[in-house]
Structure 1
Amino acid sequence: MLWHKVPNSIYFRRGSMATAMEDLKKFKRVCIVTDSFSYKQTPFVHELIDLLNAKSSHQNYLDYHVFYEAEDATEGTIKKGVDVMRNFKPDLIIVMGGGRTMEAAKLMHVLYEDPTADLKDLSDDYGGMQQWLSESCENNKNNNDSTSGTSIKKKKEFPKMGIKAKLVCIPTTSGSGTEVTPFATMVVGGGALGNFQHRRCPIAHFELTPFMAIIDANLVMNMPRDITAQAGMNALAHTIEAYASVCSNEFTDGQALQALKLLKTYLPRAYLHGKEDPIAREKVHNAATIAGIAHANAGMGICHSMGHALETLLNIPRGMAKALLLTNVVRYNTTHYTTSQEEAEAEQIMECQYAEMARHLRLTKPDDDSKDASTAFVEWLNKIKEDLSIPTSIQEWGIKENQFKNQLESLVEMAWEDPCVSTNSRPPSKNDLRTILLDSYYGRPYLEL
């Protein structure tokens, strides 16, 4: 049996934040979690407070507290936020911000609901993501049992969420999809490999799926161009890897393809024209959430595994890291010199996945073979990256050669341990990851030798 899990409610369209308040009027004590920029430099948190007060059926009793230090899901930030929640005792938590802020709020929520929970114990190192994989991919359409880089470990009991408070997510960027996913990552010092200054530990369980998501594009109209490009490429990576994942299925495929089509049409427009093209802004904002639903229920691939490593060790923003890797990951998944009939059939499946995306975007003729269509898909990816002024290589982004080489083996090890390796359409080796990283650093097209 498979299932498809999403928040109880998803409100979307410009102005939907006001409409969604009707569903929240019964709550009495609201903890608003946000970042300092959203609180101090934009009017949106204050507009939210006004809307809560206007809609509340407990106007004489409604109380709120704003925690605006959630820049990232570090251990220190999570502890501060949890302390605030335990003192304030909210029955509703609303988080407004980008992906990292929403992840921080999710993990604060876990510790608020269950003070005895240990986030490290719930992380992937102790089986969190692997539990999601074992449940989600039980009957995936490709019947691929690979668990490269990770192994499924004993289940851990996850706290029951939403008992003390419900969680509502309002994204202020168009990319992460965190508002609809069962995922969060915690930034911890050290790491299992012993040589990282810090590490992002993934935690995955459908209890982490928010109660409600509010996708109001009014909050992203003034998003800067560089953030538009990086967040948009993050969403694009979600759609492509969800569709190619070994856990993709009939439900996630449709959402991935729809998000892909919206991003192809509207992301360049949103980048070029910003708030002057509100329709494009709104379509991209919706596409990011649809892509979030797809990858929440289908999983991801090695673009995410290596992207997480680049973000952690070289401080490359999440969306940019994936953008710098994406075309070479597609090339890797479709360039496979085969030695057996089984491998030949697997290669055809991979080519067909990217060919189907190319046909859906009308990049190729319906009767073109899969290899030509997948090639057209790669060419389109390069074109949209050019349109968004994405650098052609990690080196061009600004990472010095000696810095990259010094971290290369750590990047490979961290990517190899990342759970997204397990759902990639082609099981990689460590050497495969190393080659893709090197080719992406120098701006070379991946070519299997």
Structure 2
Amino acid sequence: MSNLIALPRILRVGADSLNDLPAVLADLGSRRPLIVTDQFLTSTGAVARIAGALSAAGVDCSVFDRVIPDPTTDSLQPAAETVRADGCDAVIGFGGGSSLDTAKAVALLATTDRPMRDFKAPTSTDQPLLPLIAIPTTAGSGSEATRFTVITDSETGEKMLCPGLAFLPTAAIIDFKLTMSMPPRLTADTGIDALTHAVEAYVSVKSNPFSDGFALTAISTIGSCLRRVYADGSDEDAREQMMLAATQAGIAFSNSSVALVHGLSRPLGAHFHISHGLSNAMLFPTVAEYSLPGALSRYADCARAYGVAGDKDSDEVASRLFLDELKHLNHDLGVPSPRELGIEPERWSALLPTMAEQALASGSPQNNPVVPSTDEICEIYRRVY
């Protein structure tokens, strides 16, 4: 059986690679890009610096800086209208996962009158869209290298997974210096997000030798660097390694798949506005324990790559050591439970059937080594709470 492998056409990786943006746009033939970002990055002056560098290179850009956390179908429309009104010929996503997800969706919506819900899974969208350049400022989502975007339907509240080659960036710029100011909480959440991507890609029923190599490399790097960078955000070596690991994990799951953690995570973002990385972190240990019987040797491989088990440890011992480490990691990085976050138990319980239904509808749980029923998903949510 063959596997479809897809990567950005251009990857610029390393310190100060942001300076390569004018050259990347020239390679793509763009003279009028739209920068899609958030107001925080505008307030820091980062967007103005990029616009200034582009202007010096003879490139006239527009800016849309109203990206919101967990972007919605309503939030996309003004950006798509800006593309059309300003005659933009490319889209630059600059920021965290929400900015990159928004940019991906906008690059598509600018070329069609169809609503975003037409593109949610299981539909796979491969049609061409505007050239898309992804510039992440966090080390976690891996969106710069994936063929997915996640958008919440403003009418239904559903957090939609939209897959297909249409959402794979044409180019990505991976500059770890953009992550140096990330605070500890964001560093922790995005780091565990990247670890979740790598592990789920490796244990997924869609795993393959190409994705496996990227997944195990990312797991190894995160195991040695995440606590370091959480403790000391100025550690440039750890920042650089985490940035590369996040991209490698993105490549891994884009060419394999995510699984049950992500299926359960999206409803938490939609209903409780918990950030994606944090909701993944909350779920990861419990979901891994549930999934372990279906992929014992694969979880054991993850343990050895991470560094908590050795070659002499049996798969049973290694996989249990990995589960213990996931729990310790959440404790050490201060990951709260939904209860500790202040979510009321009555509301949590009332939404369980809806969240379970939405999780299964996303398609991600079907990639898990053990595929749960609706009742089993509700029980996992109860244990996580």
Structure 2 residue 128 is the aligned partner of structure 1 residue 160: yes
Deviation, structure 1 residue 16 = 0.6
Deviation, structure 1 residue 270 = 1.1
Residue aligned with 2:6, SS? coil
Structure 2 residue 83 is the aligned partner of structure 1 residue 99: no
Residue aligned with 1:169, SS? strand
Q: Tell me the residue number matched to 1:33.
A: 36
Contact 2:201–2:207 at 8 Å: present in 1 too? yes
Q: Tell me the residue number matched to 2:55.
A: 53
What is the letter of the counterpart of residue 317 of structure 2?
D
Q: Tell me the residue number matched to 1:260.
A: 219
- C-alpha distance in structure 2 between counterparts of 1:18 and 1:315, whole Å: 34
- C-alpha distance in structure 1 between counterparts of 2:291 and 2:73, whole Å: 36
Residue aligned with 1:396, SS? coil
RMSD between superposed Cα atoms in Å:
1.6
Q: Tell me the residue number matched to 1:109.
A: 107
Deviation, structure 1 residue 119 = 2.0
Q: Tell me the residue number matched to 1:146.
A: none
Q: Tell me the residue number matched to 1:425.
A: 369
Contact 2:13–2:175 at 8 Å: present in 1 too? yes
Contact 1:65–1:88 at 8 Å: present in 2 too? yes
Contact 2:90–2:107 at 8 Å: present in 1 too? no
- C-alpha distance in structure 2 between counterparts of 1:189 and 1:22, whole Å: 37
- C-alpha distance in structure 2 between counterparts of 1:234 and 1:69, whole Å: 24
Deviation, structure 1 residue 20 = 4.1
- C-alpha distance in structure 2 between counterparts of 1:279 and 1:214, whole Å: 18
Among candidates 388, 404, 416, match of residue 348 of structure 2 = 404
Structure 2 residue 116 is the aligned partner of structure 1 residue 119: yes
Residue aligned with 1:189, SS? coil
Deviation, structure 1 residue 158 = 4.5
Contact 1:44–1:219 at 8 Å: present in 2 too? no
Among candidates 311, 314, 333, match of residue 366 of structure 1 = 311
Output aligned runs, 1:291-440, within 5 Å: 291-335=249-293, 347=294, 350-391=295-336, 393-440=337-384
Residue aligned with 2:232, SS? helix
Q: Give % identity.
A: 30
Task: For residues 368-399 of structure 1, give each alpha carbon's deviation from its aligned partner in whole angstroms, at most 9, with x where no partner exists.
Answer: 221111001111112222221112x3222322
Q: Tell me the residue number matched to 1:140.
A: none
Gaps of 5+ in 2: none
- C-alpha distance in structure 1 between counterparts of 2:75 and 2:346, whole Å: 32
Structure 2 residue 239 is the aligned partner of structure 1 residue 239: no
Count of paired positions: 381
Which has more radius of gyration? 1
What is the letter of the counterpart of residue 281 of structure 1?
R
Structure 1 segments of 4+ aligned residues over 6 angstroms from their partners: none
Structure 2 residue 22 is the aligned partner of structure 1 residue 21: yes
Q: Tell me the residue number matched to 1:177.
A: 142
Residue aligned with 1:397, SS? coil
Deviation, structure 1 residue 207 = 1.9
Deviation, structure 1 residue 308 = 0.8
Task: For residues 277-304 of structure 1, give each alpha carbon's deviation from its aligned partner in whole angstroms, at most 9, with x where no partner exists.
Answer: 1111111111111111111111111111
Task: For residues 318-366 of structure 1, give each alpha carbon's deviation from its aligned partner in whole angstroms, at most 9, with x where no partner exists.
Answer: 111111111111111124xxxxxxxxxxx4xx10000111122332231
Task: For residues 167-226 of structure 1, give each alpha carbon's deviation from its aligned partner in whole angstroms, at most 9, with x where no partner exists.
Answer: 1010111111111111112221343xxxxxx11122110121011011111111111111
What is the letter of the counterpart of residue 31 of structure 1?
L
Structure 2 residue 147 is the aligned partner of structure 1 residue 203: no
Q: Tell me the residue number matched to 2:79.
A: 81
Contact 1:175–1:285 at 8 Å: present in 2 too? yes
Contact 1:239–1:256 at 8 Å: present in 2 too? yes
- C-alpha distance in structure 2 between counterparts of 1:93 and 1:169, whole Å: 9
Q: Tell me the residue number matched to 1:447.
A: none
Judged with a 3 Å threshold, the aligned counterparts in structure 2 of structure 1 residues 367 and 68 are, in CA distance, closer, same or farther, namely same
**TM-score, normalising length: structure 2:** 0.95
Deviation, structure 1 residue 436 = 1.1
Contact 2:206–2:257 at 8 Å: present in 1 too? yes
- C-alpha distance in structure 1 between counterparts of 2:73 and 2:206, whole Å: 31
- Per mean C-alpha deviation after superposition, the further-off stretch among 16-25 and 430-439 is 16-25
What is the letter of the counterpart of residue 82 of structure 1?
A
Gaps of 5+ in 1: 132-156, 192-197, 336-346, 442-449
Residue aligned with 1:115, SS? coil
Residue aligned with 2:339, SS? helix
Contact 1:110–1:117 at 8 Å: present in 2 too? no
- Per mean C-alpha deviation after superposition, the further-off stretch among 399-408 and 212-221 is 399-408
- C-alpha distance in structure 1 between counterparts of 2:134 and 2:256, whole Å: 21
